[in-house]
């Protein structure tokens, strides 16, 4: 699979895919005879993983470190686990913050909703008054 197809498939620009490879965020992808990247199944799974992690806000730097550890084999399993746990905890914390914000947004939206309704009611009353007058 060529880079443009991968870009299309995941909604990540070719530039970003190349950039990720350059900085060691995804493994060097195999090339065909003329030097063009040809993503295989495993490459795609890696891209998907990185996309997922990035979409949740895990820093590129941390992911680079993680990928480097994976490349070093089984002896780094403990270290990798620790990175993942740390990032999981940060993620949970961020989600909590977001939930708090969400509650406030919902509350504010409701207040605005009521304000709008009240305004409309007043307008209806005004209309009613107008009707009475006329």
Report d(CA 44, CA 9) in Å as an integer. Answer: 10
Residue among 18, 85, 72 nearest 47 (CA): 18
Question: Applying CB under 7 A, does 19 fall inside the site for DNA?
Answer: yes
Tell me the C-alpha distance between 74 and 65, whole Å: 15
DSSP three-state, residue 37: strand
Shortest CB 1 distance to a copy of itself, Å? 22
The 28-67 contact track toward DNA, x by CB under 7 A, reads: ---x-xxxxx----------------x----xxx------
Binding site for a copy of itself (CB under 8 A): 49, 52-53, 55-58, 74, 77-78, 80-81, 84-85, 87-88, 91-92, 94-95, 97-102, 104-106, 108-109, 112-113, 115-116, 119
Buried b (16+ CB within 10 A) or exposed e, 70-86: eeeeeeeeeebeebeee
Interface with DNA, residue 3, by CB under 7 A:
yes
The span from the CA of 17 to the CA of 126, in Å, is: 61
Residue 99 interacting entry, from DNA, a copy of itself, none, C-beta within 5 to 8 Å by type:
a copy of itself
C-beta closer to a copy of itself: residue 22 or 106: 106
Judged by beta carbon, residue 23 or residue 115, the one nearer a copy of itself is 115
């Amino acid at each position: 699979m060529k880079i443009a197809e991968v870009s299309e498939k995941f909604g990540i620009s070719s530039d970003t895919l190349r950039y990720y490879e350059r900085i060691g965020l995804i493994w060097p992808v195999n090339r065909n005879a003329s030097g063009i990247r040809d993503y295989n199944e495993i490459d795609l799974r890696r891209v998907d993983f990185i996309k997922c992690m990035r979409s949740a806000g895990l820093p590129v730097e941390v992911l680079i470190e993680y990928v480097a550890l994976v490349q070093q084999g089984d002896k780094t399993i403990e270290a990798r686990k620790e990175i993942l746990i740390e990032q999981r905890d940060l993620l949970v914390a961020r989600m909590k913050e977001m939930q708090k914000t969400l509650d406030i947004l919902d509350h504010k939206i409701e207040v605005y909703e009521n304000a709008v309704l009240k305004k409309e009611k007043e307008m209806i009353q005004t209309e009613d008054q107008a009707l009475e007058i006329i």
